[in-house]
Structure 1
Amino acid sequence: MPTPTDNVAINVPNADHLPDKVGGPKTSAMVGRTFEYQYPTGPQYRISFSKELVYFTVPPLPDGTDVLALPYQQREIRPDIFLVHWIGPGRQGHVALVFDLEQKRVDCAALMPAGLYELFDRAVLREVYENGESALYLPYE
């Protein structure tokens, strides 16, 4: 019987990646919203949603980048609860967030880029900005 640390996927071809399977209902209710929050485990974010991109702060990268913009998906789970998801550049990592606007919280399940660490946490939301059409990244003051 293999243990969890054994690699039991031997001789499985490693494709660039299989076609994505994205289905089900989508929404646009997060468009134009910007939130700020900090997880108890430490990471702090400012996140904005436009029609096609999510903008979020990251610790400064070697080239000085501190905001990423990536395509994302959004779905309304029930009134005032939204699931958003995106895949990191080069498909290295993914983020799934559940925003509960009524309870003012965000739950996260994410594998950070290049498998650096896994984030599974909950934070309190503070809505900073809403213009209803497009998100404008707001830098920390």
Structure 2
Amino acid sequence: MDIGDIPLFSMLRSRLGYLSERQKLIAQNVANSETPGFSPKDLKPYDFAAQMKLATSGAGLQAVTQPGHMTPPSQRAGGVARSFKAQTVKDSETTLDGNSVVLEEEMLKMSDARMSYDAAIGFYQKSLNLLRMAARAPGR
């Protein structure tokens, strides 16, 4: 059994991918803080309820008619690589040259993304430890 088959791990992988993409966008915003006319970008907020619905729904999957049947990784609800779409965020202030990146806001977003990333990694590690403990022989 692949660890990616477990919905918890596929959702965590999706969350980590989202946070990684968000950190890249924030880094691009900071790098372009002096570029005239640049508008900062961010990702749409991560929606846990939508991810749960996607992970638990069988939409688009072939029916499993025998207990031994397995769906291919490309058709599993959590197995597909998700792409996240960047969107231009509303600015709180714009300079005379049209740049609307506020470094303080970007640093707050970066620290928030980093804390969320660390929390997701911690949860992933704890879940792996639980699986290891469950797989161990009794009395060890």
TM-score range, shorter chain: under 0.3
Q: For CA contacts below 8 A with separation 6 or more, give which structure has more relative contact order.
A: 2
Rg comparison, structure with higher value: 2
In proportion to residue count, which structure has more strand? 1
TM-score, normalized by length of structure 2? 0.23
TM-score, normalized by length of structure 1? 0.23
In proportion to residue count, which structure has more helix? 2
